[in-house]
Amino acid sequence: MEIRPTTDQDVDVFLDNLHTAFGMFRDPDNTLLAGYEWDRNLMAWTEDGRAVGTTGAYSFELTLPGAVVVPVAGVTGVTVLPTHRRQGVLKAMMRHQLDALRERGEFLSVLLASEATIYRRFGYGPATYTQRLTVARHRNAPAAPRAGAQVAPDAGTVEVLTRADSGEILEQVYDRYRRLQPGALSRPAHWWERGAGQPPVSPAPRFVAVHRDADGTPDGYATYTISRDASPSSLSVDEVIAVDDTVAAALTRVLLDHDLVDQVVFRRTSTEDPLFWQLADFRAAEVSGFDDWLWVRILDVPRALTSRAWFADGELVLEVADGFANAGGRFLLSVRDGKASCERTDREADLSLDVSDLGSVYLGGTTPSTLVRAGQIRAHRPGAAALADTLFRSDRTPYCLHWF
Ligand SMILES: CC(=O)SCCNC(=O)CCNC(=O)[C@H](O)C(C)(C)COP(=O)(O)OP(=O)(O)OC[C@H]1O[C@@H](n2cnc3c(N)ncnc32)[C@H](O)[C@@H]1OP(=O)(O)O
């Protein structure tokens, strides 16, 4: 078998393979894959010249704790034809791809996993999570502020547009938002130009509630659809994107107060969404659909750990195992005044962990002590897990809703 970069001549066979593997028919109007960077895609070929596997990577930026923005590879389009599965094609492609990412100087790779059982063996760990919140409209009353308003009064305005009439508002607001939100990915300009991916980047019909600040500059939006044929009738929210909490609260309130619907469904919110606390009836937001979203693969431990911001001082020796891509070793992580150094060491380890679990705790969305209690991370001394929890904490719960 040979793995090689996709050429212009391969585009059709790449797309054919990908659709067959996912069980989809090709649709010329489908913009799902319009964001591809073809020079980053790979295909696997058998010795008799048959294409049997595909994978690709997008050039995204990822926001780390402390609003640090770094380049990241967004792995996508991973498929093997049904006739050639469980023969090691994926494994060979993953190895080739991780080597190629390293050669480009990339130190982090992320993906959305179709199945949770596939990618850990390749060093990826789930790092951000989403959940669905459903609020019955008759239980939507806002909570009275206690101890003074934490969220400042809103000085802005909200206007409802359609996706078609929103121009570049979504792109501009999203770009401001994602630079502040740990776990968020960039949405490259060509995605918006080509309408790639899923709504609201792809231009399917949507209502867009746009928030503008006192000067009239857009600083938040929510995109949604309404279905009144089903019972209960629903307002279904793709995303609420806001540059601060006041704007998010103002947009959320507009959605919750919408007439002629029984419920408002926030399809993929952060697991730390403040909405519960903004409702008079704390139980009015029903949680369902908890899901993993972004999986993180660290390719260079010192570079990854010294890139993010830190919020407490301390030292930990991490024994990182990486059976697939050799990024492991024993490292001294030392944090002072928000910055980390990370070097190889002979000191005794405080924690032993797989590189996939380091990926899970890296953005602060999974606590190391939970993985210690689960028997996945080994703590070698009392207090090591608690210290790791304190160190790896993020300034804000990491959250990603970009689909790719
Ligand atoms: C980021 C994304 O694009 S997510 C999309 C992933 N693609 C899909 O879901 C499309 C449908 N599925 C497929 O195309 C294929 O089944 C793939 C790509 C998931 C797997 O490809 P294969 O060539 O069969 O995998 P390969 O033979 O290399 O298996 C490598 C290892 O992963 C395991 N594995 C592969 N697929 C799965 C799976 N779906 N569930 C659990 N384990 C799996 C194999 O058992 C093997 O384990 P081992 O190392 O312990 O022996």
pLDDT, one tens digit for every residue, the chain (404 residues): 999 999 999 999 999 999 999 999 999 888 999 999 999 999 999 999 999 999 999 999 999 999 999 999 999 999 999 999 999 999 999 999 999 999 999 999 999 999 999 999 999 999 999 999 999 999 999 998 887 766 678 899 999 999 999 999 999 999 999 999 999 999 999 999 999 999 999 999 999 999 999 999 999 999 999 999 999 999 999 999 999 999 999 999 999 999 999 999 999 999 999 999 999 999 999 999 999 999 999 999 999 999 999 999 999 999 999 999 999 999 999 999 999 999 999 999 999 999 999 999 999 999 999 999 999 999 999 999 999 999 999 999 999 999 99
Nearest CA to ligand 1 atom 33: 118
Helix (H, G, I), strand (E, B) or coil at 63: strand
CB of 20 within 6 A of ligand 1: the answer is no
Beta strand 329-336 with 339-344: parallel, antiparallel or unpaired? antiparallel
32 close to 15: Cβ distance less than 8 angstroms = no
Amino acid at 184: A
pLDDT at position 149 is 63
Task: Tell me how far the alpha carbon of residue 393 lies from the centroid of ligand 1, in angstroms.
Answer: 32
| 2-122 homologous superfamily | Gcn5-related N-acetyltransferase (GNAT) (3.40.630.30)
Q: Strands 329-336, 42-45: parallel, antiparallel or unpaired by DSSP?
A: unpaired
Q: How far is the CA of 79 from the centre of ligand 1 (A)?
A: 8
In this structure, the number of other CB atoms found within 10 A of the CB of residue 143 comes to: 12
Tell me how crowded residue 399 is: count the other CB atoms within 10 A of its CB.
Answer: 24
Bridge partner list, 241: 221
Q: Is 89 in the pocket of ligand 1 (CB under 6 A)?
A: yes
Partners of 32 in the β-ladder? none
The number of angstroms, rounded, from the C-alpha of 157 to the middle of its chain's C-alpha atoms is 29
Query: Which residue do the tokens 């959940």 mark?
Result: 131
Distance 83 CA to ligand 1 centre (A): 13
Domain 130-290 CATH assignment equals 3.40.140.10: no
From the CA of 20, how far away is ligand 1's center (Å)? Answer: 15
90 labeled binding residue: yes
Q: Which of 3, 90, 98 to mutate to test the pocket of ligand 1 (most atoms within 8 A of CB)?
A: 90
Of ligand 1's atoms, which has the minimum distance to the CA of residue 121?
49
Give pLDDT, residue 146.
Answer: 86
Domain topology for 300-392? Nonspecific Lipid-transfer Protein; Chain A (3.30.1050)
296 Cβ contact list (under 8 Å, min separation 6)? 108, 109, 110, 124, 125, 127, 359, 360, 362, 363
- Atom 31 in ligand 1: residue holding the nearest Cα: 91
Question: For residue 87, which atom of ligand 1 is closest to its CA?
Answer: 27
pLDDT score for 152:
73
Q: Is 239 annotated as a binding residue?
A: no
| Ligand 1 contacts CB of residue 121 (under 6 A) | yes
Q: Is 110 left (phi over 0), alpha (psi -120 to 50) or beta?
A: beta
The C-alpha angle with vertex 88 and arms to 82 and 94, in degrees rounded to 5, equals: 100
Query: For residue 122, how far is its CA from the centre of ligand 1 (angstroms)?
Result: 11
Burial class (CB in 10 A: 0-12, 13-18, 19+), 114: exposed
Give the tokens for residue 32.
């799902």
CB 276 within 8 A of CB 34: no
Q: Which atom of ligand 1 is nearest to the CA of 89?
A: 23
Active-site annotation, residues:
119, 404
Q: What pLDDT does 306 receive? A: 98
Domain segments of the chain: what residues? 2-122, 130-290, 300-392
For ligand 1, whether the C-beta of 86 sits within 6 Å is yes
Q: Identify the pLDDT of residue 288.
A: 98
Burial letters 31-47, b for 16+ CB under 10 A, else e:
bebebbeeebbbbbbee
CA end-to-end span of the chain, whole Å?
A: 27
Q: What pLDDT does residue 28 have?
A: 86
Report the pLDDT value the prediction gives residue 147, as an integer from 0 to 100.
77
For residue 352, list its beta bridge partners. Answer: 319, 378
Q: Do domains 2-122 and 300-392 have the same CATH topology?
A: no
- Rounded CA separation 210/208 (Å): 6
Q: How many CB atoms lie within 10 A of CB 279?
A: 18
Contact 296, 124 (CB under 8 A): yes
pTM for the complete prediction? 0.97
pLDDT of res. 263: 98
